[in-house]
Structure 1
Amino acid sequence: MTAPGWLTWTFAAGLSATATLLAATDAAAPPKLQPGSFPALPTPQTPTPGTQATAIGLSNPSFEAGLAGWTKTGVAFDTQPTVDENVIAARVGAVTIGGDYWKDIPYPIGVRGRRWIGTYEKRSSPALGRGLTQGDGPQGTLTSHRFKLPVNAKYLSFLIGGGDDPQHLKVELLQVTKASKGKAGAQGKEFEVLAPIAKVKAMTGHNSEVLRRDWWDIRSLNHKAEYAIRITDTSSRGWGHINVDDFRFETAPPPQQRVDGHPAVLKTTILGKPVYVDYDAPLWGAADLHTHPMSHLSMGGKLMHGAPDVGSLLPKGTQVRGNGCNAAPVRAKSVAEALGDCNATHGGWGTDNTCGDHIRAFAINVAFDSEFEHALPAIPTDGTCPAGMENDAGLCFAKCKPGYHGLGSMCHKDCPPGFRDDGLYCAKPGSYGRGAGYPLGDGGKCRREHPQGCEQDGLLIYPKCKANFHAVGCCVCSPNCPAGMNDIGVSCEKGGSYTRSGGAPPTSNLHGDHPHGGYPALAHWPHWSSKAHQQMYVDWIRRAHDGGLNLLVALAVNNELLGAVVNGDPPMDDKRAGDLQIDEIRAFIRRHDDFMREVKTPAEYRTAIKDGKLAVVVGVELDNIGNLQVGNPGLTASASKVKAEIRRLHAKGVRYIFPLHFADNVFGGVAVKGGLFNLSNRFARTRPLPIGVPFPPGFLYQVETAKDPDIKYRLELLGKDGEWAHGLTFTVAKLLLDLLGQTPFPPAFHATKCPIPTLGCVPQFKLLSSLLSPDSGWDVYATVPGGHVNKRGLTPIGEVAIKEMMRLGMIIDVDHMSDRAVSQTLAIAEEFDYPLMSGHTGFRDKSKKADENQRSAEQLTRLGRLGGIMGVGWAGADARAFLHNYRHGLGHSGRNGGAPAPHFSLGSDINGFEETPKPRPGSRVSYDLKQRGGLKQASFAGKTWDYNRDGVAHIGLYPDIWQDLRNLNMRLSEREEFFTAADAFAVMWDKIESKRGAVR
């Protein structure tokens, strides 16, 4: 039976709303749907009026077949359905501090499949540019063909977003009802109407593009009746559009359903209103996969200075108090305490700094943080004053500002050339006379003889004074005084003199040092080149989050050797130091729950980001997990003890874990990388060994030739190229140390052991001296050809540990593992299809001196197949170098015949004793919000940072380097990869949860 198409008619009686007339049809029924199921979708097509039979269930519920099964009126739906994600981040205000590095990146609103209804959009084909829109103007309706409710359907759910306007923007479930009044149509057929259902409320949007999952309870409805769904957009005001997708018949309300072991929906808030969103709705935002917010509590609390907030625990001996310091750990009560003067932590001992330590200062300033741009020369020439000062009469005074010079404690203005400097005055050079003058009648003669002109004075005419001179009386020309000085005749009174600081005798600064002043000026730190000052203060983290950072992996870190070298305080062992940081990280997050949230499950993680929070995953990066190798030089452990320790960490909230770090442990061997790591291995494996006792042989790295030709790194002979830090050799370091050992150090006095108190009597000095003594183990390295890698892989107990971590669903990072251990861990993961992380490293085929800690092409492919993620490091690079490196990662698939690759994110290692990116020559990041790409400038207390000058001085400058990357033409696809890292992490974590139960 043929019937006319859909008509709109205002029903005047019996039904109190606008109703849609429906003609009965008898065409073949579309495929039936079970609750929550989808039909096989045909090629999208435009529906045409015709004969239709009543379907059981809704045809084309997710618009994957275009508008088949739906009929439109007006023009709002002419460009529908929309293809793929079309909303860009600028429309949702994903970043609140300006810039344009983020604006054109697609923002996932939670659509299902590839097609959806969005009446603001104008992208009905993939061929059209993403982000194309038609605006809020068009109006119209979209109504489904009639259907019957499936027998077991109890709920009808759908996705909805857009404007909040219940009258003009809505989704309705309507019932087919016979008209009680009115005349038959032209062919004598009985009219039917689509009438609102009193028990089923029409749904509208919530002034957000993001789709929420809503539903109707249809249990009480007549399953024999016929129904239709109508989507209405009759608004042209702001937010005058509606987003709709994915109608589903359900047997239970969405909050009570679980899919693949996780909830079907998550409860969150949008603009302060509680809503539900689909669990797997994609997330947006950048991630930093490797940070250390509480590292000031590591290494005995004496290496990193500065705490991340008010309320943080401050280690003993780090707070300057007069000429002393705090005698016990305290909580920071103010920003001034959290980011105060670092002299007690980093400075040498003296009567003005009784908590200082010359050995610690030497280790930090000469070795560990030697590239800090504000560091002073370690061993200047005798009599040399510190940077920014000058020697005047044997004392060091601050240098005067430009245009001034020093005289003792005063700075006076410079005199012009030819003037004699008399301190407060500039004595003029000689004046000259301008003759006896000319009678008034001889003015012409005067002008002919004096080209500069003439002037009358009294009854005579005189030549004018030459340039820079002026007449005094009738007959003398006197030099002019410089601008700003007072002319007093034969001299110029300077004015503007000021007192300068200083007056102390010069020192040799043998231990190295740097300016210590902290809050509020923060004149010298935080700084991109310093690895020993806090860069993660909470206000700076907040700015990074405002700029698009939505995931932070916060790691406890420790190294017992560094703790001993800097004369740290307990706890210094990995277990207690790690536990302290874990507890403090979690407390820090709770103190700032207005914008950050700890997450321990994938569901918590997704909810946090949907709630607009910075999701923080807590983890550990420790040499000696559980102190399992203390007193255990053979590196053995029982399976029960290892499992118990891993479970203990999991119970404490640890979800991200490094099985290995700097030193070989019971789990396996570490990546060979540098003399400092080797000494750390030597120290860790011989604990507990009394300080000063010679180290036994056999505890340095055991190396072999790398099979991968891209590995070029070699451990060289001691005294030649053995690296301590940035090229400082062991030989030079020991020479400096021996010289430093002669420095008087009154606290070292002991009547029998140290009657002449010097640094050489201090235990930490003895430890350093013994560590730097030659060892026959170094001689072996020269005999091993090619690049060097650790012989040790995973131990049998290491395999037990990896599997236990997997059973608990922990996120395992393979960085710092030896090449052999990485291969073994990948093989275990592949057995169970369990994703792995490589959170802060680089690429072997990109480095001139690659080591085994960097990822090979084969490893990238294996990580990619598992669904893993790699965090690309940027230590000491600038924006251009990082972009080049990041692009190299993104090109992996193309270079390897389409091989899988991990998702590429950022792994900064900030606060982890690595430099942050330096300023890029020629960068032009703007802080004028009126300009394209202009950012709101980072300011805090008495300091304002300019990325063009300061680089990434702290985490709050992340948005600035991201803008610089955009200015360097970082491609949209590259930025999309970067800002979908938060979602990649969610997908990976979900997979971990789904696979952990199968680990045997």
Structure 2
Amino acid sequence: FDNPCGDHLRAFMINAFIDDKFAWKLPPEQNLHLDHEHEGYPAFKYWPHQTSKLHQQMWYEWIKRAHEGGLNVMVALSVNSQLLANAINGDSPTLDRASSDLQITEIKRFVKRHADFMEIAFSSADLRRIVGAGKLAVILGMEIDDFGGFAQMGTVFKNQTHTMQRAQVKAEIKRVYDQGVRYLFPIHLSNNVFGGSAVYSSIFNFANKHNTGSFMDITTSPDPAIQYNLNFLNAGTPLVLSMVPGVYDAIAGFPAPCFGSGIPGTVGSCSPALGIIKDAVTADGKWVNYQSVVPGHINDQGLTPLGEYALLEMMKLGMIIDIDHMGMKSTEMALHWAEVFKGGYPVNLGHNGLRQNDEHHHATERNADAATIRRVAKLQGMFGLGTGDLTPDEFIEEYNKVVKAIEGLNMIDALQGRTQLYGALAVGTDANGLEPLPRATAGLDSAAFYSNGFKKLDTAGGAAKGGKTWDYTKEGVAHYGLMNEFMRDVKARNKDQNVYKRVWDSAEYFARMWEKCESLSDK
């Protein structure tokens, strides 16, 4: 009764815009909010599912299963969307800073409850000790849009002197470091006080307007491979958006008994949530200007002076920096500062893919080009290959493309007697994020796959006791535990084992990358 309209609005937004490919969605004629089948624990009849992004994928038993399959190092990130949290009447806290604080606290408690097989690593030495003891090393990280809540501070923050702003940024970086956070995305899905994010989804542009007060400024990419157009659906979108606020005003101002509060004598209304959505999607001058910018749209905002300062402060603490969601201009500036900091500071691209434009790939600035990947590898940084909806064959193909992108660098380094860099290429699942998990090879035989002592995973006692027995050959990677099976599938498909072996080298490379960060710090 305390959230009567939010549940329906939440269901509509999630099912229409985020989990739109979930296999168990109900026919639209059966429900106006595009809902799906709900039955989960203990039989897990409908979820988690490989086609769903938003159902729980990381129950502790499933993480343990992945560890038993060879996973030794995992980065656990706090994530949030202020637009979604506010628009769908979600539970508090809705702001990035407070939400991240709560998540970091709960991740610590979660890991402590399962200390039999996992432990948080606060240093590279911790990581080596934990992995050496046969446990999973967990690194705490943050992947939020509004670091420090500085965008929410509005004019109060902007009207401060540069010295005052820098002092607050430095204090916030130190605060999260003292929480145990070691892995940071300075920029995520919308612009913030540090710089511009990658342009690759209109939904994130709406989030940008909600977080910053305006849509992104865009320009045309110098890379012809990028043909992305930020005009949302089509040229008629500005007209549609101009109509939406009026519709929302009508709905918001009219009592909605079908979404009533359930309390006699009162009537519910959706106005707060719809008002937030209205503000986020109302077209402004920037949106109109998008039509005059030649497609191949990228963010025109690079790193701000405050963003450059923040990067250097993170480096001084030896923190692990991920530049994955930065726009091209921000990425170029971040790499410059990484390259000049004490001879070269590692930065990462945590869950990404090679920029390419063909019938199967539509390049945006979110994807890294070969030159960027080589620069990251030369700094001894890492690249996490995204696995979203890939089959093992597709994963192997994409992995080898990234290997080729750094091969020239490897040949040069080999002449100089340096270690090969293939371990720099790891796996970035984005599990419990906004990407689906990978698929299985089609036509696998279940009995043959689960043989020679390799057994299926049971949850809640397994199917025989009313729980669930998971079969990767039929379901793909429905949850994180089935990454164990996925890597077995990769091994079977990767005849010369070059990809499979290099993936397992990545844990050692992560330790070396972190050691280098620490060695260059001021600590």
Match of 1:612 among 134, 137, 154: 134
Does residue 994 in structure 1 map to residue 519 in structure 2?
yes
Alignment of 1:321-720 (within 5 A): 357-378=7-28, 380=29, 508-632=30-154, 636=158, 638-686=165-213, 699-716=214-231, 720=235
State whether residues 717 and 778 of structure 1, in contact with CA within 8 Å, keep that contact through their aligned partners in structure 2: no
Does residue 936 in structure 1 map to residue 455 in structure 2?
yes
Paired with 1:544 and 1:536, the residues of 2 have a C-alpha distance of: 10
Distance verdict in 2 for CA 1:913–1:894, change over 3 Å = closer
Distance verdict in 2 for CA 1:978–1:734, change over 3 Å = farther
Alignment of 1:879-894 (within 5 A): 879-894=392-407
Paired with 2:18 and 2:182, the residues of 1 have a C-alpha distance of: 30
> Residues 719-774 of structure 1: CA distance to partner in whole angstroms, max 9, x if unpaired?
54869xxxxx96999899899878643536999xxx99575x43112322343334
Give the letter for the 1:611 counterpart: A
Paired with 1:710 and 1:899, the residues of 2 have a C-alpha distance of: 27
Two-structure CA RMSD over aligned residues (Å): 2.9
> Residues 237-259 of structure 1: CA distance to partner in whole angstroms, max 9, x if unpaired?
xxxxxxxxxxxxxxxxxxxxxxx
Alignment of 1:288-307 (within 5 A): none
Match of 1:958 among 483, 486, 499: 483
State whether residues 596 and 614 of structure 1, in contact with CA within 8 Å, keep that contact through their aligned partners in structure 2: yes
Distance verdict in 2 for CA 1:785–1:747, change over 3 Å = same
Q: Percent identity?
A: 38
Paired with 1:509 and 1:735, the residues of 2 have a C-alpha distance of: 24
Once the two structures are TM-superposed, the CA of residue 804 in structure 1 deviates from its matched residue by 0.4
Which position in structure 2 is the counterpart of 1:824?
A: 333
> Residues 396-449 of structure 1: CA distance to partner in whole angstroms, max 9, x if unpaired?
xxxxxxxxxxxxxxxxxxxxxxxxxxxxxxxxxxxxxxxxxxxxxxxxxxxxxx
Once the two structures are TM-superposed, the CA of residue 919 in structure 1 deviates from its matched residue by 3.6
Give secondary structure in 1 for the equivalent of 2:46: coil
Which position in structure 1 is the counterpart of 2:416?
A: none
Which position in structure 2 is the counterpart of 1:813?
A: 322
State whether residues 324 and 366 of structure 2, in contact with CA within 8 Å, keep that contact through their aligned partners in structure 1: yes
Give the letter for the 2:185 counterpart: F
Paired with 1:973 and 1:989, the residues of 2 have a C-alpha distance of: 24
Distance verdict in 2 for CA 1:683–1:647, change over 3 Å = same
Which position in structure 2 is the counterpart of 1:776?
A: 285
Distance verdict in 2 for CA 1:828–1:539, change over 3 Å = same
Paired with 2:243 and 2:11, the residues of 1 have a C-alpha distance of: 17
Paired with 1:960 and 1:780, the residues of 2 have a C-alpha distance of: 48
State whether residues 244 and 282 of structure 2, in contact with CA within 8 Å, keep that contact through their aligned partners in structure 1: no
Give secondary structure in 2 for the equivalent of 1:957: helix
Does residue 872 in structure 1 map to residue 385 in structure 2?
yes
State whether residues 928 and 936 of structure 1, in contact with CA within 8 Å, keep that contact through their aligned partners in structure 2: no
Does residue 980 in structure 1 map to residue 495 in structure 2?
no
Distance verdict in 2 for CA 1:635–1:905, change over 3 Å = farther
Give secondary structure in 2 for the equivalent of 1:704: strand
Once the two structures are TM-superposed, the CA of residue 940 in structure 1 deviates from its matched residue by 0.7
Distance verdict in 2 for CA 1:530–1:779, change over 3 Å = same
Paired with 1:362 and 1:896, the residues of 2 have a C-alpha distance of: 48
TM-score between the two structures when normalised by the length of structure 2:
0.88
Give the letter for the 1:811 counterpart: I
TM-score between the two structures when normalised by the length of structure 1:
0.47
> Residues 31-68 of structure 1: CA distance to partner in whole angstroms, max 9, x if unpaired?
xxxxxxxxxxxxxxxxxxxxxxxxxxxxxxxxxxxxxx
State whether residues 925 and 964 of structure 1, in contact with CA within 8 Å, keep that contact through their aligned partners in structure 2: no
Distance verdict in 2 for CA 1:561–1:802, change over 3 Å = same
> Residues 638-694 of structure 1: CA distance to partner in whole angstroms, max 9, x if unpaired?
1111000000000000000000011211111111121110000000013xxxxxxxx
Give the letter for the 1:842 counterpart: G
Once the two structures are TM-superposed, the CA of residue 945 in structure 1 deviates from its matched residue by 1.4
Give the letter for the 1:939 counterpart: D
State whether residues 21 and 51 of structure 2, in contact with CA within 8 Å, keep that contact through their aligned partners in structure 1: yes
Give the letter for the 1:938 counterpart: L
Once the two structures are TM-superposed, the CA of residue 839 in structure 1 deviates from its matched residue by 0.4
> Residues 599-633 of structure 1: CA distance to partner in whole angstroms, max 9, x if unpaired?
01111110000000000000001111111111326
Paired with 2:232 and 2:455, the residues of 1 have a C-alpha distance of: 51
Unmatched segments (≥5 aa) in structure 2: 414-420, 461-466
State whether residues 358 and 511 of structure 1, in contact with CA within 8 Å, keep that contact through their aligned partners in structure 2: yes
Give secondary structure in 2 for the equivalent of 1:563: helix
Distance verdict in 2 for CA 1:946–1:756, change over 3 Å = same
State whether residues 834 and 996 of structure 1, in contact with CA within 8 Å, keep that contact through their aligned partners in structure 2: no
Once the two structures are TM-superposed, the CA of residue 849 in structure 1 deviates from its matched residue by 1.7
Give secondary structure in 2 for the equivalent of 1:979: helix
Does residue 909 in structure 1 map to residue 434 in structure 2?
no
Paired with 1:827 and 1:864, the residues of 2 have a C-alpha distance of: 14
Which position in structure 1 is the counterpart of 2:444?
A: 923
Give secondary structure in 1 for the equivalent of 2:72: strand
> Residues 896-943 of structure 1: CA distance to partner in whole angstroms, max 9, x if unpaired?
794676711101100012211134322346566545xx7311221211
Distance verdict in 2 for CA 1:930–1:916, change over 3 Å = closer
Distance verdict in 2 for CA 1:748–1:940, change over 3 Å = closer
Paired with 1:368 and 1:529, the residues of 2 have a C-alpha distance of: 11
If asked which structure has higher relative contact order (CA below 8 Å, sep 6+), I would say 2
State whether residues 635 and 665 of structure 1, in contact with CA within 8 Å, keep that contact through their aligned partners in structure 2: no
Give the letter for the 1:747 counterpart: G
Match of 1:835 among 336, 343, 346: 346
Which position in structure 2 is the counterpart of 1:850?
A: 363
Paired with 1:509 and 1:528, the residues of 2 have a C-alpha distance of: 23
Paired with 2:378 and 2:128, the residues of 1 have a C-alpha distance of: 23
Alignment of 1:110-121 (within 5 A): none
Give the letter for the 1:700 counterpart: F
Paired residues, number:
497
Distance verdict in 2 for CA 1:634–1:783, change over 3 Å = farther
State whether residues 97 and 147 of structure 2, in contact with CA within 8 Å, keep that contact through their aligned partners in structure 1: yes
State whether residues 887 and 974 of structure 1, in contact with CA within 8 Å, keep that contact through their aligned partners in structure 2: yes
Which position in structure 2 is the counterpart of 1:968?
A: 493
Alignment of 1:17-36 (within 5 A): none
Distance verdict in 2 for CA 1:773–1:356, change over 3 Å = closer
Deviates more, 1:361-370 or 1:573-582: 361-370
State whether residues 440 and 489 of structure 2, in contact with CA within 8 Å, keep that contact through their aligned partners in structure 1: no
Give secondary structure in 1 for the equivalent of 2:329: helix
Distance verdict in 2 for CA 1:649–1:930, change over 3 Å = closer
Higher helix share: 2
Give the letter for the 2:216 counterpart: Y
Higher strand share: 1
State whether residues 202 and 232 of structure 2, in contact with CA within 8 Å, keep that contact through their aligned partners in structure 1: no
Paired with 1:874 and 1:549, the residues of 2 have a C-alpha distance of: 15
Unmatched segments (≥5 aa) in structure 1: 1-323, 328-348, 381-507, 687-698, 724-728
